[in-house]
Structure 1
Amino acid sequence: MTSSTETATLQDLPDMQAPPIVSHDAWAAAHAGMLVKEKALTRARDALAAERRRMPWLAVEKDYRFEGPDGSLSLLDLFEGRRQLIVYRAFFEPGVHGWPDHGCIGCSMVADQVSHPAHLNARDTTLVFASRASQPDLARLKARMGWTIPWVTITDDFDADFGVDQWHGHNMFIRDGDRIFRTYFINNRGDEAIGTVWSYLDLTALGRQEEWEDSPAGYPQSRPYKWWNWHDDYVPGAAPDRKWVEVSDAGEAAFREDRE
């Protein structure tokens, strides 16, 4: 970090092998070539998400219990009435680096990049963090770090049974009434880019639930962009904002060539 009176230059990095400096036309050509590869990657990522939505489901047979701010909760309770649930195992407990003032540095970075949960909730999906620390400890940590993510205390073998007793990870679930199914699991480097609405939804069984997606027949889908709203203005079951539909329709028309 330079002071206000210093100017950073590449001379500060004497071993750095910088790319060539080129004309505007040469730069535009290089960018166009890179864009072709980026579009291919985007389509490959979409295809992988489509394959993920066709993964078989695993029934959850045990009655797992958690502690929340208001008392004991079941795994079903964590859904908060929604169809899908994402549970991130965050390490904040005795024996973890940073205890008792902080959680794991990596898990804390994940928490820092979580987008507002209202957008996930609008897609019938709930996000919950789970740790072994007590609720008073979790409340203290959330207040210190400015986090508002729903966060429960693990009280049984949930972490061991779902591959997150020794390492972080996200488990995805879906429910059919009172029946719960595990649909996907991701950890390691798969966790590092998690945090946006889209990164979460792409890992779920139902995906983004938009019409352009390749999903099995009967999956819920609606027009892209139209379901978006300000995070403090979602109303369950309400029609899309009419003015926003007009604005987004105009934007789509202007960029019809490729929605990606």
Structure 2
Amino acid sequence: MPQHQIVSREQWIAARKTHLVHEKEFSQARERLAEERRALPWVKVDKSYVFEGPSGKVTFGDLFRGRSQLVVQHVMFAPDWEAACKSCSFWADGLDRMVPHLAARDTTTVAVSLAPAAKLEAFKTRMGWTFDWVSSGGSDFNYDYEVSFTREQIDKGVPRYNFGTTPFYGPELPGISVFFRDEAGDIFHTYSCFARGLDMMNAAYQYLDLTPLGRHEIGLPYPMDWVRLRDEYEPRTAERACCHG
């Protein structure tokens, strides 16, 4: 239990208003950053990527579903794995319910992984997800957008992840990439983020940041050591559930 000063309601309001000034400064900085992000230059996608979906092969253009914007969640799921990465799944849980809201703003969302489509569909059913999820196992997509790495790349020891700023810590790593498709059908890569850059897209973390304990990850072997697949959390003990009878 964290130790905090206990004050009157009036004193709390005064302290909260001081903090509100800092929150507004952060909001303004975030808005400026978003404007800068939207102003970044684009790169035309020249490769004709083909993916494998539950009903067969689909082109990159097909993934847009007739919309102009596409957000790709790079979910770590190697071909020889039996389940997707638990941390990527933590993000995907939040993504699933946002799909119709993003679609209303001309934006399609899709998850992409190296594992074969049959494995993706089985795991998707287990998790109760509804978003589109396709396999990039037959293309260079994951390697070109630097979320999958060959043994040769890793052995060279030259960082390529997060634009070369983060050392390799595995052959599969997380990311989000954004693409735009114009009326002529040309596709452009507009943005990607990795590592801590993904933090802002995890609503659960943002809620935890509002609480006194925060993410409560200090002392863990690594920050997300506590995360489990949504169906693997242990039931709450009677002691912790006592306040609910």
The answer to whether the superposition gives a TM-score over 0.5 is yes
**Structure 1 partner of 2:145:** 162
Q: Is the 8 A contact 1:173 1:182 kept in 2?
A: yes
Runs of 4+ with deviation above 3 angstroms: none
Deviation for aligned residue 1:93: 2.7
Q: Is the 8 A contact 2:114 2:142 kept in 1?
A: no
Bigger CA radius of gyration = 1
Q: Is 1:134 the counterpart of 2:116 in the alignment? A: yes
Q: Is the 8 A contact 2:79 2:116 kept in 1?
A: no
Q: Is 1:21 the counterpart of 2:6 in the alignment? A: yes
Q: Is 1:108 the counterpart of 2:83 in the alignment? A: no
Structure 1 counterpart SS, 2:201:
coil
Q: Is 1:189 the counterpart of 2:170 in the alignment? A: no
Instruction: Give the AA of the match of 1:175.
Output: R
Instruction: Give the AA of the match of 2:108.
Output: T
Candidates 167, 170, 177, aligned match of 1:171: 177
Instruction: Give the AA of the match of 1:147.
Output: W
Q: Is the 8 A contact 1:110 1:192 kept in 2?
A: no
Counting only pairs closer than 5 Å after superposition, residues 1-260 of structure 1 correspond to structure 2 as 10=1, 16=2, 18-95=3-80, 99-100=81-82, 102-114=83-95, 115-154=97-136, 155-165=138-148, 166-176=172-182, 177-195=184-202
Cα deviation digits, residues 93-112 of structure 1 (max 9, x gap): 345xxx31x21111111111
**Structure 1 partner of 2:154:** none
**Structure 2 partner of 1:246:** none
Cα deviation digits, residues 144-203 of structure 1 (max 9, x gap): 11111110000210011111113110110001121010000101011133156xx9xxxx
Q: Is the 8 A contact 1:84 1:124 kept in 2?
A: yes
CA distance in 1, matches of 2:58, 2:42: 23
TM-score, L = length of structure 2? 0.69
Length, aligned pairs only: 178
What is the CA RMSD across the aligned residues, in angstroms? 1.6
Structure 1 counterpart SS, 2:178:
strand
Identical positions, percent: 43
CA distance in 2, matches of 1:113, 1:125: 16
Instruction: Give the AA of the match of 1:38.
Output: E
Q: Is the 8 A contact 2:69 2:106 kept in 1?
A: yes
The answer to which structure has the higher helix fraction is: 2
Instruction: Give the AA of the match of 2:104.
Output: A
